C-alpha cells in the first residue's frame, strides 16, 4: 500500500507539479497515470506538459485512447491505468477507489487552493483516505515552496 499525497496548489499549476514529480516517479521505475474528469482539460494539460522543462527535461507522455497506451510512461486519461502505472495522479476532482489506492505506490491528489469546491472535495477525500487506513500526506506551497503540513500513518 502506497502513500496518498495531497498537493494544495496555491502558486503552481497541475502541469508544474507533474513536471517535477513525474520524473521522480519514473526514476523509481514507476509509470504514472494522470486521471482527470474532463477530456478538454486533459488535452490542455497534455499541451502544457510538452512545454514544461524545455530541452533539458522532456517528460514522455500521451493521451489515452491511442494504440500505444500500454507503452506510455505517463498516460493522461479518464479511466483506469492502461499503462501498468504505480502512481495515480488525480486532477480536476478525479477520484480513486480504495482498491486502486491499495494497488499503487503513490496517489497524488492535486487540487486548486483557490477553488472552494475543490478544497472541500479534497478535505472529504482526506477523511475517506485516512478512515480507510491509507497513509496520507498533505503538502502546501503557501510559502512559495512545497512543505509537508500534515501526515497520517497507515493503520
Cβ contact 32:81 at 8 Å: no
| Set of cell numbers at residue 148 | 509537508
Q: Which domain holds residue 146?
A: 3-152
Say how many domains are in the chain.
1
Residue 78 gets the label, from left (phi > 0), alpha (psi -120 to 50) or beta, of alpha
pLDDT of residue 53: 59
CATH number at residue 60: 3.40.50.10110
Taking each helix axis from N to C end, the angle separating 39-51 and 14-27, rounded to the nearest 10 degrees, works out to 70
This prediction has a pTM of 0.94
pLDDT of residue 54: 55
One digit per residue, the tens of pLDDT, for the chain of length 155 reads 789 999 999 999 999 999 999 999 999 999 999 999 999 999 999 999 988 755 566 788 999 998 899 999 999 999 998 899 999 999 999 999 999 999 999 999 999 989 999 999 999 999 999 999 999 999 999 888 999 999 998 77
Amino acid at each position: 500500500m502506497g502513500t496518498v499525497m495531497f498537493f494544495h496548489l496555491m502558486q503552481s499549476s497541475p502541469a508544474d507539479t507533474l513536471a517535477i514529480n513525474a520524473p521522480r516517479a519514473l526514476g523509481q521505475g514507476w509509470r504514472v497515470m494522470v486521471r482527470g474528469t474532463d477530456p478538454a482539460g486533459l488535452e490542455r494539460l497534455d499541451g502544457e506538459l510538452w512545454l514544461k522543462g524545455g530541452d533539458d527535461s522532456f517528460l514522455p507522455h500521451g493521451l489515452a485512447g491511442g494504440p500505444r497506451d500500454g507503452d506510455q510512461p505517463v498516460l493522461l486519461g479518464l479511466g483506469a491505468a492502461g499503462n501498468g502505472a504505480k502512481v495515480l495522479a488525480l486532477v480536476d476532482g478525479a477520484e480513486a477507489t480504495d482498491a486502486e489506492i491499495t494497488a499503487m505506490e503513490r496517489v497524488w491528489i492535486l487540487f486548486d487552493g483557490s477553488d472552494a469546491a475543490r478544497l472541500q472535495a479534497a478535505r472529504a477525500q482526506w477523511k475517506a483516505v485516512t478512515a480507510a487506513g491509507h497513509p496520507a500526506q498533505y503538502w502546501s506551497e503557501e510559502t512559495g515552496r512545497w512543505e509537508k503540513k500534515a501526515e497520517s500513518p497507515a493503520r
